[in-house]
Structures are given as structure tokens and as C-alpha cells.
């Protein structure tokens, strides 16, 4: 009970600090950086919620168990990241609001096309899934990297810490996907291609 009360007090203090910092920035000259920052939060919030819906399709389409497990883990991680963004909105004293992210929608549509254009159960499809997933990760790394730096610039250190945690997770996922691809999937896909070419020559 005491621990819960302490946590609430800490969060209240953090909110006051965020509001104080935001007030200082609003009173300065130039564009309203806080409003731009908040707008970009809405964009990545939509993107993360969209991924929670779309990542399971990538997992089902994958044939490598290692890849399936990595995507499953990232689905759970993405759900946590959505919750973190909601915490950020709370610290800013704003209601969580999603603004459609055209970039993320485009990336997930591209992933769907990759699945449709590759054969089920092949390493080639897994290569395509990894490439699609890494494009998503690179977008998120860019978004969270910029948001973390903006939060620091505005003076929202608590918010920056939360965003930096997600940024680190996105980088780790990107590294993991590279390791999975390089450990065996890329080579298996190359062998599939060689096998097809040999079959065509024999015919």
C-alpha cells in the first residue's frame, strides 16, 4: 500500500515537472515545439497500435520457429510500448490520441504483398518477412530516436527516459532479426533458388 502511494506521489511530481517545463517552452519565441512533439507522439501511437494488429499475420506466415518466436516476443513488447506511450500522454496531461501514420500503413501493406508473392513454407518468404519487419524497426528507431532527443530539448526528462527504453528495444529487435537472417535463413533461401535453377536445367 505504501509502495503504491509512493508511486502515485512520484508520478504526480513528474507531471508537475512536465507541465512546468511545457509552460516555459510555450512562452518562448518560435514554433511551438511541444505541440509538434505531441503530434508526433500521436503518429507513433497509431503506428504501435496498428502493429499489434498486423504482426500476428507475419508470425503466422513465417516457417522458421526461431523467427516465429521472435515475432511473438515482439508482439508482447509492442503492447508494452503502447502502454508506455499512454503513460507519456498522461505525463503530458493529455488523453492518448492516435493520428494515422501513413508510413507505417505503407510498410505493413508492403509486408502483406511480400507474403502474397512468396511461397508458403519457404525460407524465401522468411527472408521477405525479416526484411519487412526490419523496415518497420528502422522507421521506429528513427521515430523514437527523434522523439527522445526532442523530449530532452524541451526538458521532459521523465518522458525522454520512457521513450529511450522503447528505442533500445527496437534496436535490440533489429539486431535479433539480423542474427536470425544471417544464421541460416538467408543461406536456406539461396539453396532454394539453386535447387529451382537445377530443376529447370534438368527439365
Give the pLDDT of residue 75: 97
pTM score: 0.80
Domain spanning 32-202: which superfamily? Answer: Ferritin, core subunit, four-helix bundle (1.20.1260.10)
Per-residue pLDDT, 192: 85
Selection from 164, 158, 165, 166 nearest residue 10 by Cα:
158
Rounded Cα gap, residues 45 and 47, in angstroms: 5
Q: Average pLDDT for consecutive 10-residue bins of the chain (203 residues)?
A: 44 48 38 89 98 97 96 97 98 96 98 96 96 98 98 95 98 97 93 57 45
Q: What is the pLDDT of residue 193?
A: 64
Domain borders along the chain are 32-202
Distances (CA, A) of 34 to 24, 38, 198: 10, 6, 60
The predicted pLDDT at position 26 comes to 41
The confidence score (pLDDT) of residue 164 equals 98
Amino acid at each position: 500500500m505504501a509502495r503504491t502511494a509512493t508511486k502515485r506521489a512520484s508520478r504526480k511530481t513528474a507531471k508537475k515537472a512536465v507541465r512546468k517545463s511545457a509552460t516555459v517552452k510555450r512562452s518562448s519565441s518560435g514554433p511551438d515545439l511541444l505541440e509538434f512533439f505531441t503530434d508526433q507522439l500521436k503518429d507513433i501511437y497509431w503506428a504501435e497500435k496498428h502493429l499489434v494488429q498486423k504482426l500476428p499475420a507475419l508470425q503466422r506466415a513465417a516457417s522458421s520457429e526461431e523467427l516465429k518466436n521472435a515475432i511473438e516476443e515482439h508482439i508482447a513488447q509492442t503492447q508494452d510500448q503502447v502502454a508506455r506511450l499512454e503513460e507519456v500522454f498522461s505525463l503530458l496531461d493529455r488523453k492518448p490520441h492516435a493520428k494515422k501514420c501513413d508510413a507505417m500503413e505503407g510498410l505493413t501493406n508492403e509486408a502483406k504483398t511480400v507474403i502474397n508473392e512468396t511461397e508458403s513454407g519457404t525460407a524465401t518468404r522468411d527472408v521477405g518477412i525479416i526484411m519487412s519487419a526490419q523496415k518497420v524497426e528502422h522507421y521506429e528507431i528513427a521515430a523514437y530516436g527523434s522523439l527522445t532527443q526532442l523530449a530532452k530539448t524541451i526538458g521532459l526528462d521523465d518522458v525522454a527516459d520512457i521513450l529511450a527504453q522503447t528505442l533500445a528495444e527496437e534496436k535490440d529487435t533489429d539486431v535479433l532479426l539480423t542474427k536470425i537472417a544471417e544464421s541460416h535463413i538467408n543461406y536456406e533461401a539461396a539453396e532454394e533458388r539453386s535447387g529451382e535453377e537445377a530443376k529447370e536445367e534438368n527439365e
